[in-house]
Chains A and B, each alone.
Chain A
Amino acid sequence: MRQSRNRGNSQPRWLFPFVVTVIFCLSVLPLGRLAATGIMSAFRGGAGELLSDPGLWRSVYDTLSTSFFGMIAAVVLGGGFALLLTLFDIRGKALLGFLFMLPTMIPPQVTALSWIGMTGPSSALLKAIGLAPPLGSPQPLYSIGGIALLYGVQNAALVYLSLRAGLLALPRDAVEAARLSGASSWQVLKDVILPLSLPGLAAGAAIAFVSCVGNFGIPAILGIPAGIYTLPTLIYSKFAAFGPGTFADVSVLSALIAILSIIGLTVEGRVLRGRDYRVIGLSGQVAVFRLGAWRWLAELMLWLTIFLILVMPLIALVASSLAPAYGVPLSPATVTVKAYEEILVRQAATRTAFANSLSLSLATAFGLLVVTVLTGYFLVRSRSRLTGLISALAEIPYALPGIVLAVAFILLFAAPIPVIGISIYGTIWIILIAYFSSFFAVSLKPVVSAFRQLDPSLEEAARLSGAGFARRLADILVPLVAPAAGASVILVFLIACNELTVSALLWSAGTQTLGVLIYNLDDSGSFNIAAALSVLVVVMVIAMMILLELMAKRLPKGVVPWRS
């Protein structure tokens, strides 16, 4: 084998088996188990019954239509922002870009709650300014259109980032050559820039579509009250009404989601293939076009959009959290911080959820770091031909919707673990393992890019100094990748702390997470308490994003997802 022939390499013998074991446990095992159950139930004919259920096809149709319109909304919003902020002389680009990224980082269930707080007859905000529709009129967001709109808001940043990366990668000389050929700004834009940036836009649209298909928080809050079930919420409801055929059903449903996601991801991979000319040392700065008299209008549009998709919903969220009860108008006389007192002081359930989410996210962030530093080192240093396969396997659990992964782990751990005979189903450990699997790629990416940037001779010099692997790791490698490792910890913590999709299926009494708690509070009608909790979550998200933004200068390119 390759390994034994490369004894000159720097990796200790246990590293390769270690990495393979990690990948096997976090990726191959759960997904393999899911596939096995799906195939088995298909052969036993159980799938036939499910597949002939019109409810399923209704749900497939709803998933596709919400995701499609969500994708369109994301393309319009994200594409517009990317073009204006990247190509034109707009002022305050950095701030606009940062604010535009926020909706993506805010958990979907919080987005849904804040928009509910902004519209409909019970909106505390609308009531406060006297614009609320009459009681009894329907909440407009409880609809296919409402779900699609929020999908668009949530995922616009994905299109923005993808198109922006495409635009920044445009070779500057192509633009300059067109200019020298006598083309006007408008012609350059129309004939050169837009055609060349089309792959970036298409790829962004595909990722947004996949993200919509897997979204749970938005259709759970907006769809279930209106009887609209997307595939993820259908899985959730099947678990809620647990029966003998549940496992077979949900594995088939998960397979459907997985297939839709894989189609989307394949489209993304296709259109991005051959776009590697970005490595030919270009400056990452496209020619900036002057808007002239139109600049005011463009800036106004951008800020108005930010106001509509971010500021207003957040104000509504704060307003809802300060109202004494759902539907009571907010005025100086009725303002109360009772909801905050409730979650911070009184309710044991919120304290448990805080403790669970914080400890789960911290354990995931730091535990994964240990694993990803070793895996990242292996992926960058190894000459093994398996590295491509291993990094692909590490990516899959994060690329797949969280609901699919949650189902896979339920199937894997529903029975006690063989040999040791302990069951972790229903405990916090199953959530932890699912988090490890789900966020492995998030943690790995910054570490790998840091190792890539590291000159191998820095480690070789340490080897000749006599330092063994552990010593080199402690003295040389870890200090040098520390900034990226820090970013990796913050990113994983941020995402894990706000996560709902995985834990929605895996929680049980005593192990609810913040995401689950917000959803349950809203479900049980405690809208203002759910809103107050959401406000705290948003504050935490913004704080961490600012922290990452401040660290950005010391990090390798591409580590902070919203910086390009």
Chain B
Amino acid sequence: MAKLILNRLSKTFDMAGRAAVNDISLTVREGGFLALLGPSGCGKTTVLRMIAGFEQPSDGSILLGERVLADAGEMVPPEHRNMAMVFQSYALWPHMSVAENVGYPLKVRGISGDKRDRKVRDALTAVHLETYADRRPADLSGGQRQRVALARCLVTEPDVVLLDEPLANLDRHLRQEMEETFREFHARSGATMIYVTHDQAEAMALATDVAVMSEGRLLQVATPEEIYARPEGRLVGGLVGQGAILSLSSPAGDRRILDWPAMQLVLADRAVGPGADILVRPQDVEIAAEGAAVTVLSVLFEGERYALRLALPDGQTLRAFSRHPVKVADRLAIVIRSAWRL
């Protein structure tokens, strides 16, 4: 195994059209778990399909270690990449039993008899489906089908495992269970995994690295903690975690982490710089005896707390939490403990 390198990767589908993927460079470390996060249509699935070999790059290259998998001229077909993929639709072959589905990559590789049976059994055990070997995919539930698809990935020890929105068709309860299965699978196989999703919570919960894409471009790659704490730009800030983005004049210097005194200056419009986008997370907004004046726009009871939308005097909105009930149109004072200039 080796690291997977995307080098200035681009893909244009028709001659005149705009690029679906535009100049993406990215290195996935060996054994890493990368989530490709972005709104639908941002090109993340196209990146995944280029890594799998279903699409050829229009420009740039894909390398696995020293080996060039694809560039604009040549490419290794998916058959010879030693990768595996979990599809959104599971892609189980309806005419084969569960064991035959899982064992098919081995059969193609010419592995037969006891050795194949043992590997299939091991893979099914790993996803807790050992008693379902003789069933047909049609007899299984959605979550079970997804686990069969995962076992099919497990069986050949692939270099890279690709997951294309694998939880999109499952209900919330099953999602949590499957997230656990994916984490287990990653720890156990040590394979490099690339996970495409539009759900930021899923990406943060699973991945060791998150790459955020929008309109074919790569906006930021970082660990989940990093990307949450220090997002780059308005798009990433809006996509990752909850928070409100305020358009205010920028504070003095190139400070990015703003504490309350700095925020006071900014809110009072006494800052010096040009306009800036400032991200305020709701947990950093504190209701206090004195501070900036706000009006309550809406209140939502979430069980453990109340989620508030607050309006600043200039009309911009903020999110905040409160442990005590407040009423719509109440006037409150808030302190912003921390904010991030995007």
Contacts and interface: CB of A to CB of B under 8 A. Distances in A.
Interface of A: 5-10, 455, 457-458, 460-468, 471, 475-476, 479-480
9 contacts: A7-B77, A457-B91, A460-B87, A462-B104, A463-B54, A464-B83, A464-B105, A466-B156, A480-B94
B100 to A, nearest CB: 10
A463 B95 contact: no
B52 interface: yes
A460 B56 contact: no
B75 A7 contact: yes
Contact of A466 (B74, B79, B87): B79
Interface string B181-214: 0000000000000000000000000000000000
A464 B84 contact: yes
Given A8-B54, A466-B108, A467-B108, A461 B91 contact: yes
B75 A466 contact: no
* A-B interface, 3 closest residue pairs, ranked by CB to CB distance from nearest: A465-B105, A457-B91, A461-B91
Nearest to A458: B91
Nearest to A5: B56
Contacts of A471: 108
B117 interface: no
B80 interface: yes
A465 B149 CA distance: 12
Contact of B95 (A6, A465, A479): A479
A551 B52 CA distance: 38
A90 to B, nearest CB: 36
B186 to A, nearest CB: 18
Nearest to B14: A383
Interface in B29-59: 49-50, 52-56
A476 B94 CA distance: 9
Nearest to B13: A383
A463 B79 CA distance: 5
Nearest to B105: A465
Contacts of A465: 84, 104-105, 108, 152, 156
B78 interface: yes
Contacts of A455: 89, 91
A381 to B, nearest CB: 11
A466 B80 contact: yes
A302 to B, nearest CB: 40
B105 to A, nearest CB: 4
A81 B52 CA distance: 54
A464 B78 contact: yes
Given A8-B75, A461-B152, A463-B54, 13 more contacts: A8-B54, A455-B89, A455-B91, A457-B89, A457-B91, A458-B91, A461-B91, A461-B149, A463-B78, A464-B84, A465-B105, A466-B108, A475-B104
Contacts of A461: 85, 87, 91-93, 149, 152
Nearest to B101: A461
B8 interface: no
B81 interface: yes
Chain B CB count within 10 A is highest, among A5, A7, A471, for A7
B115 interface: no
A13 to B, nearest CB: 11
Contacts of B95: 479-480
Contacts of B82: 466
B172 interface: no
Contact of B54 (A458, A460, A476): A460
Contact of B81 (A5, A7, A460, A464): A464
Contacts of B156: 465-466
B52 A464 contact: yes
B324 interface: no
B255 interface: no
A479 B97 CA distance: 13
A8 B55 contact: yes
Interface in B300-336: none
Interface in B137-174: 149, 152, 156
Contact of A460 (B52, B92, B108, B149): B52
A460 B89 CA distance: 12
Nearest to A475: B104
A7 to B, nearest CB: 5
B79 A467 contact: yes
Nearest to B160: A464
Contacts of B91: 455, 457-458, 460-461
A9 B85 CA distance: 17
Contacts of A480: 93-95
Contacts of B108: 465-467, 471
A553 to B, nearest CB: 15
A287 to B, nearest CB: 34
B301 to A, nearest CB: 38
A556 to B, nearest CB: 14
Contacts of B152: 461, 465
Contacts of B92: 461
Contacts of B85: 460-461, 464
A564 B120 CA distance: 43
Interface in B86-123: 87-89, 91-95, 104-105, 108-109
B93 A463 contact: no
A475 B101 CA distance: 11
A8 B13 CA distance: 12
Contacts of B56: 5-8
B105 A463 contact: no
Contacts of B54: 8-10, 460, 463
A465 B91 CA distance: 12
B78 A460 contact: yes
Chain A CB count within 10 A is highest, among B52, B81, B91, B152, for B91
B52 to A, nearest CB: 6
B139 to A, nearest CB: 18
